[in-house]
Amino acid sequence: MTTQSIKVTIKRGPDGQGAFDVPAHDNQTVLDVVSWVQQNADPTLSYRFACRVGMCGSCAMMVNGVPRWTCRTHISKVIKDGAVTIAPLRNLPVIKDLVVDMDPFFDKWVEAEGVHHGSLTRHDPIAPVDETSATRVEANAGIECINCSVCYAACDTVAGNPDYLGPAALQRAWTLLNDAKDEGRGAILDAVSGSGGCHNCHSIGSCTTYCPNDLDPMSAIAGLKRETTKSFFRRGR
């Protein structure tokens, strides 16, 4: 433990912010800093977290202008000149302080048909899945998404076009499109080729750069672009 302190600025609402001197500790995370402020300096500060171990995806915030999962981000990696600025995630409405409304993010998963389209019942035998098939490999590539919305906050296309479905929803659509157990291929292709769909993506790649789980939404969206284009010509429209 050290006796140094960190100069922490926390953005609160469109105009407000607070400045705090937070004691520095070894192995301290950004979430530790926010928790210290709430517990020791300002109990009215609102923020969101649950697991603290990179599983639930609820703790994402902007840290020095970059979206990050704060429970797995050490202060030592982001601090600049002894200071750090923490703000709510970009591209989502702020409810209070560091808490954003995730509804638009999850609504887009549904819009993108990023929900399982099953056809079997509990009475059917379990369908075998070939884990080595090319489609299963594609499906597995994005399956560890924890819905943290870091990619959504990083996306300049979402910032410029609020109707764009965004990288997380499109990646989930790609996962399901490649899932042999999903029966929604036509619905998915229609959903992701609409006005807010995959063809809005400019392949800037911020989603892939900042994904804390090292997933690659940009490649998933590229896959959707290929499949929707093939489908367009196959269907003759």
The one-letter amino acid code at 203 reads S
Cβ neighbours for 81, distance < 8 A, ≥ 6 positions apart: none
Cβ neighbours for 233, distance < 8 A, ≥ 6 positions apart: none
69/164 with CB nearer ligand FES: 69
Q: How far is the CB of 59 from ligand FES (least distance, A)?
A: 3
Residue 45 φ/ψ, nearest 5 degrees: -70, 125
148/201 with CB nearer ligand FES: 148
Q: How far is the CB of 140 from ligand FES (least distance, A)?
A: 21
Strand runs labelled E in the chain: 5-12, 16-23, 60-63, 66-69, 83-87, 94-96, 99-100
30/224 with CB nearer ligand FES: 30
Q: How far is the CB of 92 from ligand FES (least distance, A)?
A: 16
Beta bridge partners of 96: 99
Residues of this chain that interact with ligand FES (CB under 6 A) are 49-52, 54-59, 69, 71
Q: How far is the CB of 81 from ligand FES (least distance, A)?
A: 26
Q: How far is the CB of 152 from ligand FES (least distance, A)?
A: 15
145/176 with CB nearer ligand FES: 145
59/154 with CB nearer ligand FES: 59
Cβ neighbours for 61, distance < 8 A, ≥ 6 positions apart: 30, 34, 47, 67, 68, 70, 86, 87, 88, 89, 98
